[in-house]
A and B are shown apart, each in its own frame.
Chain A
Amino acid sequence: DAGVTQSPTHLIKTRGQQVTLRCSPKSGHDTVSWYQQALGQGPQFIFQYYEEEERQRGNFPDRFSGHQFPNYSSELNVNALLLGDSALYLCASSPRGRAVYRPEQYFGPGTRLTVT
């Protein structure tokens, strides 16, 4: 059973460019969340997708957008890249389930984005 997969592993972009990161959730999971982890920091929640809609959003500007496809995979798009966007971007999946079951999130290995 494949876990959460992310692509690409590493990416180098120039300031002002746009980037798309991809995530495939663990089999059986339908909810995908994205996190930004700057060097030496804990992950910061960007947004969460369920049923192809953004359901929650953290404190990130509109330059960060996403999409979820019918097969539950997801993309994170970042426009007008800034040097400060350099970070490890983590995708996590979980089954929606009922709140009483409180399932945990499973994380992918991340995409390391470097903006120069």
Chain B
Amino acid sequence: AQSVTQLDSHVSVSEGTPVLLRCNYSSSYSPSLFWYVQHPNKGLQLLLKYTSAATLVKGINGFEAEFKKSETSFHLTKPSAHMSDAAEYFCVVRLDGGYQKVTFGTGTKLQVIP
């Protein structure tokens, strides 16, 4: 069984300040982990992925995430928020095997205040 928990449903930051979106996962096996972003009325865009290589993963638009197995966490960070970062962010866990089983978190809505 696998699950993913996004600890905050809403996060509000000022433009130019750091962003931290938290994600914890549960999986029986070593999973792949992803962060996707969804802007209003848009589809999902992949920000970054962890697939058992480097634990610090760099993604697009200045985002990065660190896989911490001991804490079962995969938090998303960005040093300086931009207005265009306002969107909903989903943490995703995938159990890889014969067929890929994907579980989405409930999402974190990021608000950026000018």
Q: Which residues of A contact B (CB under 8 A)?
A: 4, 31, 33, 35, 41-45, 48, 50, 55-56, 90, 92, 94, 99, 102, 104-110
Q: Are A107 and B96 in contact (CB under 8 A)?
A: no
Q: Are A102 and B32 in contact (CB under 8 A)?
A: yes
Chain B residues with Cβ under 8 A from A90's Cβ? Answer: 43-44
A72 to B107, alpha carbons, bound, how many Å? 30
Chain B residues with Cβ under 8 A from A92's Cβ? Answer: 44
Closest chain B residue, CB of each to CB of A48: B99
Closest chain A residue, CB of each to CB of B102: A45
A-B contact count (CB 8 A): 54
Say which residue of A31, A55, A106, A110 sits within 8 Å of B46 (CB atoms): A106
Q: Are B101 and A42 in contact (CB under 8 A)?
A: no
Chain B residues with Cβ under 8 A from A48's Cβ? Answer: 99-100
Q: Which residues of B contact A (CB under 8 A)?
A: 32, 34, 36, 42-46, 49, 51-52, 90, 94, 96-107
Chain A residues with Cβ under 8 A from B98's Cβ? Answer: 99
Q: Are A94 and B43 in contact (CB under 8 A)?
A: no
A48 to B97, alpha carbons, bound, how many Å? 14
Among A33, A43, A55, A90, the most chain B Cβ lie within 10 Å of the Cβ of A43
Report A59 CB to chain B, min CB distance, Å: 12
Report B79 CB to chain A, min CB distance, Å: 24
A79 to B49, alpha carbons, bound, how many Å? 36
Q: List 28 A-B contacts (CB under 8 A).
A: A4-B43, A31-B100, A35-B104, A41-B106, A42-B90, A42-B104, A42-B105, A42-B107, A43-B44, A43-B90, A43-B104, A44-B104, A48-B100, A50-B99, A56-B99, A56-B100, A56-B101, A99-B96, A99-B98, A102-B32, A102-B49, A102-B51, A104-B32, A106-B46, A107-B36, A107-B44, A107-B45, A110-B43
Q: In the complex where A43-B44, A109-B42, A110-B43 touch, is A104 in contact with B102 (Cβ < 8 A)?
A: no
Chain B residues with Cβ under 8 A from A42's Cβ? Answer: 90, 104-107
Report A21 CB to chain B, min CB distance, Å: 14
Report A11 CB to chain B, min CB distance, Å: 15
